[in-house]
Amino acid sequence: MFLLSSFLSAGFSMAGFSILLSKRMKKTGLVLLGTYIFLFYIFQDASLGQWNTLLLVSGALVLVFWSTEKSLLDTFLSLTGYLILTLVDSLFFMIRSWSIFPLQRFHAQHPIPFALADLFLGTAILLCLRRFYLRLIYASLAKASPRLLFCFFSLLYLCVILIVFNFLYGRASSFSTRQIIINGVLVTVLSLCIAFVFFNMYHLLEQEQELSLQQARLSVMQDYTERMESLYEEMRSFRHDYKNILSTMEHYIDTGDVGALQVYFHEKIQPLEPAFSRDSFLLGKLHLIGEPALKGLLYTKLIAMLNHRLNISLEISERIERFPMDNLTLCRILGILLDNAIEAAVCSVGQTISLAIIRAGSDTLFVIGNDSLPPPVPVSRLFERGCSTKEGHAGLGLATVRELIEPLSNVFLSTEWKESYFSQTLTIQGEELP
């Protein structure tokens, strides 16, 4: 009976720690977690009382963190699931205590049926939450910063500590079990509600930011469209005029009047502005980028380069629709790298900047280069937070790039400075998304 009761209790806790995870745990991790919980219930020291709860939760969360590739999101969701099941168990206790039927006495005599009911109902609640609500949480929190996830996790872990303290203080103060359970329920509900409110605030801010980005993107694309229409009109005008120019030159050639032809060329043709501006050709290359967010970013940065009158080289090897990584993360990384390159090129002697987007097999390479003054610190130190080559700057740009790239297994950045030229290559491994 003891082993069966321990097995059901372990299954109940196991469901709480594992059902809400955003991705499946490793098999070895799942086995270790289940074994740890089961053995804990068998060999726990009764003299420790509720301190056992803190030990159980802490050990389980360490295993979840390890088994999910150090995912703070999954560790937070694991703790959330455990607290929800703890709340369900406490509510069941309150129902048994306040029922007009002698359920509490029946529970003491026959605990197995009640343990099974707790397990199945608690599991069903978590599965429903995962199916109907947590997809929204997954989509939002997957992009959240580690600091935000750590705040969510700390809030819920503090809830566990308060629940343990509530039991210890309640026993020491001779509170009834019902009072202690009610206090624990209130603490749990309050903590989950605070986490829920914080999440909704974060989700609303994220939606507002996304709306602002869409409006900015629309404005950029509108400007881009107008420039392309201007280029089209230039093409039509040139197509109409170049025949007249050739006819005039043909007359001088047919008559053999080379002197007049030279005068006509130097005085009438050479001084003319090119029918197609270099700027329009440069911006026209962006039609090979199918992702609107990236196209908008590159357009904005190219306009900034043109405004600074930099010598620009842009190469896009072929049309690319989508990249095998999050678009927002890619735009943040490239935005920082291009901003740094523009600032460095403006201060350099040659004022040259280049951007190449190249497909190499299944990989995509972004090669950003610029003329640069010698960096005052080793290149390896440029990615340290607080380290900057620009006076008065906080040195957060490249440190942010490093933090964005570290969790990505298919994205790499190499940096090189050689003979007054600074280059960075961002490599994205994997096939283009459909």
C-alpha 179/C-alpha 176 separation (Å) is 5
Where in the chain are the domains? 2-212, 285-434
Superfamily name and number for 285-434: Histidine kinase-like ATPase, C-terminal domain (3.30.565.10)
The predicted-structure confidence for 83-142, as pLDDT tens digits, reads as follows 888 888 787 777 767 666 665 666 556 667 777 877 888 888 888 888 777 766 776 676
pLDDT in tens, 7-66: 777 888 888 888 888 766 777 888 888 888 888 888 887 777 778 888 888 998 888 888
H-assigned helices in 133-176 = 134-141, 146-172
Query: Residue 68 in contact with residue 23, Cβ under 8 Å?
Result: yes
Place of tokens 């080793």: 378
Instruction: Report yes or no: 180 and 171 within 8 Å, Cβ to Cβ.
Output: yes
Position 427 scores a pLDDT of 92
226 pLDDT above the threshold of 70: no
| Predicted pLDDT at 275 | 43
Long-range CB pairs of 386-394, under 8 A, 24+ apart, other chains included: 389/344, 390/343
Show Cβ contacts of residue 384 under 8 Å, excluding neighbours closer than 6 positions. 395, 399
Residue 425's pLDDT is what? Answer: 93
Average pLDDT over residues 394-415: 81
